[in-house]
Amino acid sequence: MTKHIRPGTPPLNLTEYIRVGGYDSVGKALKEMAPADVTSLVKASNLLGRGGAGFPTGVKWSLVPMDKECLKPKYLVCNADEMEPGAFKDRYLLEGNPHQLIAGMIIAAYAVQAEKAYIFLRWAYKKAEVILNKAIDEAYEAGYLGKNILGSGFDLDLHVHSSAGRYICGEETALLTSLEGKRGIPRAKPPFPANSGLFGKPTVVNNVETLSWISHIVENGADWFKSLSLTGTGGTKLYGVSGRVKNPGIWELPLGTTIRELLEEHAGGMIDGYRFRGLLPGGASTDFLTEMHLDVKMDFSTVGTAGSRMGTGTMIILDDRTCPVAFIHNIEKFFALESCGWCTPCREGLPWVEKMLASIEEGTGKMEYLDILKFHTKYLAPGNTFCAHAPGAAEPLQSGLNYFYDDFVKHITEKKCPWR
C-alpha cells in the first residue's frame, strides 16, 4: 500500500499511477465484475475497517440495499477526518498516494452502486486538500470520474469537503450530520447508515486506509491479502510510534507485528536517559498497555485480549520522565473540550473528570477523588452514552488508574506533582 509513497517528493500523478498499473483494478472491477462480486471478494478478504473499530468492510457494504426500488442516490463517504491524538497515518496516505484512494473509492462506490462520493477531510490537512483536488481533476479529465466511467455505464461524482474542526466528526454518524451542513452530533443506531445515512439515503462510510486497500484486493485476490498478515486477519497495517523514542515514525508492516518489534526495531527504542513505562496502542482513546504486554501482537483481536484496543495502530509512548497524571489529564482535557454536548454523561462527566485530574496534578487533590474518577469510568461506559466518545475517554483513565495508581496517590499525599 505504501509502495509508491516517497515522503518529501510529490505523489504520483495520474499518468504515472496508470503506468505502474494503479488503475488496472478499476477497469477490471467495472467491466469484468458484477457489483455483488466485488463485495463478495472484499468480504472474503476479511479486510477489517482501519479507522479503529475493525468492522469487516465487506459486511458493511453488503448491508446496503441493492434492489432497484431503494432510495437514491446512494452515497460513499471517505472518512479522512483523522483527529485522534497520536494518529497520523491517514495523512501519510492522503498526501502520499491520492490516486490509490480515488481508485479504491471508484471500486467501492461501484460495489454498492453509489453515484455520489465525498471525502470528509480534516480541516488541518491543507496540503492533502490541494493534492486530492488536483488528483480528482486529473481523474475527471481521464474519464475515471464523471459519467459512464471507462465506458462501463457507471457514473460517479467525487467531491472533497474540508471540515471546520471537531473531533466528534470522525464518528461516522456525526460525520454524516456535519456533512449535511449541521452541528456534528452523532445519530442513534439503528437505523445504520447503510439504510439511512447521508440525507437519509443508503450510505457507506469507510476510512482512508480501508479504501486505499480496495484496488489491491481486486487486483491480487482475497487469499493474497490474507497471506499478508501474521495472524490471519488479513493485510498489512500502517503502524506509528510517537513519544520519546529514537526514531518516531510510520511503517507499513504485517498485521500482527508485535509491540516489541515496533518499539525496539522500527522506532529504535527509547531515547537514552528515558525509560519505557507504558503506551496507548492506538491513539488517545485506547487503554494503556505496559511492559508485560510488549510481546502482544498488534491486531484487532489480540490487543483486545490484552485489555486494550488496536484503534488506529498509532502508539503513544509514556516515558519515566513524563508524569502519568499529567499525561492522562492532557487526554481527558481534550475529550472534555471535544464533547459535542449532546448527552449528559459526556457533557457533564468529562469536564468533572478533567477538573479532578487537574486538581490532583496541582497537588490539591483528595483521596476520595480517586473513587469518583473510578466511578466515572463505569458511568461513561458503553450503554450509558449516545456514542463512543465518552467510553473512549474512559479507557486511558480506567487503565491509567489501574497501572499508575501509586503515582496518583503520591500526588495526593505529597500535595505536589513528583515530576515538577
Give contact residues for another protein (rule: CB under 8 A): 82-88, 90-91, 122-127, 157, 159, 161-167, 178-184, 199, 240-244, 248-250, 284, 314, 316-319, 322, 326-327, 330-331, 334, 337-338, 340
Rounded to a whole number of angstroms, the minimum distance from the CB of residue 45 to another protein is: 28
Rounded to a whole number of angstroms, the minimum distance from the CB of residue 351 to another protein is: 16
Residue at grid coordinates 488496536 = 310
Q: Are 381 and 405 in contact (CB under 8 A)?
A: no
Kindly tell me the sign of the dihedral angle through the C-alpha atoms of 231, 316, 96, 173: positive
Complex with another protein: residue 41 or 245, whichever CB lies closer: 245
The strand order across the sheet containing 249-254 reads 249-254, 236-242, 314-319, 276-280
Q: What angle do CA 39, 43, 47 make, to 5 degrees?
A: 115
Complex with another protein: residue 39 or 286, whichever CB lies closer: 286
Rounded to a whole number of angstroms, the minimum distance from the CB of residue 274 to another protein is: 10
Rounded to a whole number of angstroms, the minimum distance from the CB of residue 400 to another protein is: 12
Complex with another protein: residue 164 or 188, whichever CB lies closer: 164
Complex with another protein: residue 221 or 248, whichever CB lies closer: 248
Q: Is 179 helix (H, G, I), strand (E, B) or coil?
A: helix
Rounded to a whole number of angstroms, the minimum distance from the CB of residue 276 to another protein is: 13
Complex with another protein: residue 100 or 163, whichever CB lies closer: 163
Complex with another protein: residue 184 or 202, whichever CB lies closer: 184
How far the first Cα of the chain sits from its last, in Å, is 44
Complex with another protein: residue 203 or 229, whichever CB lies closer: 203
Rounded to a whole number of angstroms, the minimum distance from the CB of residue 325 to another protein is: 12
The Cα–Cα gap between 373 and 310 comes to 24
The Cα–Cα gap between 261 and 114 comes to 41
Residue at grid coordinates 472533497 = 160
Rounded to a whole number of angstroms, the minimum distance from the CB of residue 317 to another protein is: 8
The contacts of residue 52 (CB under 8 Å, 6+ apart) are 84, 207, 282, 283, 285, 309, 310, 311, 312
